[in-house]
Every structure is written in structure tokens, then in C-alpha cells.
Amino acid sequence: MLTGNKGEWSEVYTLLKLLGDGKLYAADGNLDPRDDLYFPIIKVIRDEPSGNHVELLVDNDAKTVQATINGKRGATVSQDDLLDEARFLLGELKGPHDSAAFPIERTEYAMVSLGCEKLKAASTDKTDITVQLHDSQTGFDPFCGFSIKSEIGNASTLLNATRATNFVYKVNGLSQNDIDSINAIEGSKKILDRMNAIFSQSRSVQFQRVNNDIFAENLMFIDSRMDEILAEALIIHYRDNIKRVADVVGVLEEDNPLGFPVEGLYRYKVKKFLVAVALGFQPSKRWDGRDEANGGYIIVTTSGDAVAYHTYNRDLFEDYLLDSTHFERGSTSRHDFASLYSSGKTTLLNLNLQIRF
């Protein structure tokens, strides 16, 4: 029996909802579907872990979905039935569950009828679902890979914390007694308390480098000073306890620590970083600047809409990412940050980057 958390089952919900609707609606700035902008769905493609290639062809005139598995005709399912299954699954996702991962037997049966073996189709990148859409403006029928994010259940992570996402700073003006005293601070607020001590007692905290060379090189594809921008953003987050990315960017624009000559550059560049992370950028994997989820994002809202920020509407997508994300602090021991340490005669500090919706 298949089990999954709410985020994983939300991917199945997205599949059922899109096939039932037969179209993918674009989202407005409030995550509401735009009735005036949608893309008819030709088919959804899944490569299953067993090696089966599944194509789910949508016939909006006949209101059916035809499954083919490795080119052989499978079941034909009505779109109304798929929407019924989607509504049932949505109700299950909104209900309480005894564990983080749970089965939904009725939904699993519906998946099997479509030739789907797992909650998540096989994928090596950030694409959660591959859809062939009809673009009425160009007449083309592109294949688009989308990343799926769900507002049902726990908020998802945009950029996961690892040791690779540490930024290294030089801390000036602290004695060994100061260092020992700060590192000894414990408790539920130890990160905040240590940061307060460091920024109040030291003469300066200066960015030195990104801890991981691949992460540093990937950042250069976005902007040659992207590492400095993020390093300054982390100082604001940890020093001032500001969490919303948009609020941190606001402080960057006001303080202008890098001396940019034009207003709005921090906002512009941080948006480009967020989009890159959303569509393909990974800190520890070499990146060539190309989008993996070339279609954009599909968001499952609490009301059950599955709406898209397509890369065609990149400005709205950038605004959504900036307005919907915040900095988060992970485990200090697992990710090795928020403690002072020495390199020769230099005192150093790691600050960790993690971003969550």
C-alpha cells in the first residue's frame, strides 16, 4: 500500500485535478485562477519507477482521459470521475492524520487505473509533473515541466539547508574570553542570543566567502555579486531577526551596503536568485543556468485550486516568490553554523542560508 505525506499526496491531487479540468489555469497575484488565461492540456506524461512510460491523453470534447502504457491502450476514465476523486482526496488531505505518512486506499486505486505506480513519478530534477499544453497564442504544443508546491500541510522548502549553504564571515574585535562566552550560550533562543552578542560586542562582521565552491560558482551564473548580496541579506536576518525575504530586501534597498548606484537592484537580483532556485538551481550540484522545471510552478491552494505561475508570466512568478518566502534557521549542529571558530589568528563565523515558503 502506498503511503505519503500531505505534500506527496498533493502531487497526486494535482494530477487528478488537471486531468479532470482538462486545463491549467494561470494564477493572479493572489493565487486565484485567472479565467481569462489558461492552457488546454493535451496530455500528462509520467515515467514510472518500474520503467513504464505512461501517457494520459485528455479529450475535453468527450470529457475523457485515455491512458496508454508503453504505447499500449489502457483504461479510459471520465473527467467527472477524476474530479470526484480529486475532491475526495482534497477532503482527506485537509483532515487529521495520526502520522506524517499515511495511505489513502481509494486514491491509490484511482492511480492504478491510470497506470500510476507511485505518488511521485521518477524524476532527477525539480520537475514534479510533465504536461503537454496547447498555447493558443502561438499555436504550439510545448512539453512543460512544473514543480508542484502545496499550501496544504506543512510549508515547503524552497532552498534546503546544508553545510554547502554556509556563508563564512570574519569577526573582528573579540577576545578569547568573548568567544568562549558566546559559544557557551545555549537554550531555545541560542542562535538569536549568540547573534545579539556577536553583533553588539564585535567591531565588525565581514563576509569572506561561500563555504562550498560549487555553490559559489553557481551563484555567479545569476550575478557576479550574488554571493555578496546574499551574505548581506543573512546579516540582516540574523542580526535584526527579520525573516520575510521581502522585508530583508527592503532593508538592503534602504541601507545599500554594496553601494549600488540604482535603486531596485537588490530586489531585482534577489528575485532572479529565487526563480533560479525554484526552477533548477541546487547548491551542491553544478548548474549551467538552465531551468529544469521549464514550465514554472503549480501551487495547490487550501481551497483546492491548482494554479500555475508559468514562465511566460515570469514577473508574477518572481513577485510570488519574493512575497511568499522567508529565511529559516536549521540545525546548528547538523549544518555547522552559529558558533565562532578560529583559522590561524582569524575568528570566523558561519551563517546558514535556508529559505522556506
Total-model pTM: 0.85
- Does the pLDDT of residue 62 top 90, yes or no? yes
The percentage of residues in the chain with a pLDDT greater than 70, rounded to a whole number, is 99
Give the model confidence (pLDDT) of 307-324 as tens digits: 998 877 788 889 999 999
Q: Residue 119: name the closest of 280, 19, 5 by CA.
A: 5
* Higher pLDDT among residues 312 and 109, named by residue: 109
What number is the average pLDDT over the span 59-72?
97
**Cell digits of residue 204:** 565588525
- Does the pLDDT of residue 120 top 80, yes or no? no
Question: What is the average pLDDT value for the chain, to the nearest integer?
Answer: 93
What number is the average pLDDT over the span 2-23?
95
Give the model confidence (pLDDT) of 152-190 as tens digits: 877 789 999 999 999 999 999 999 999 999 999 999 999
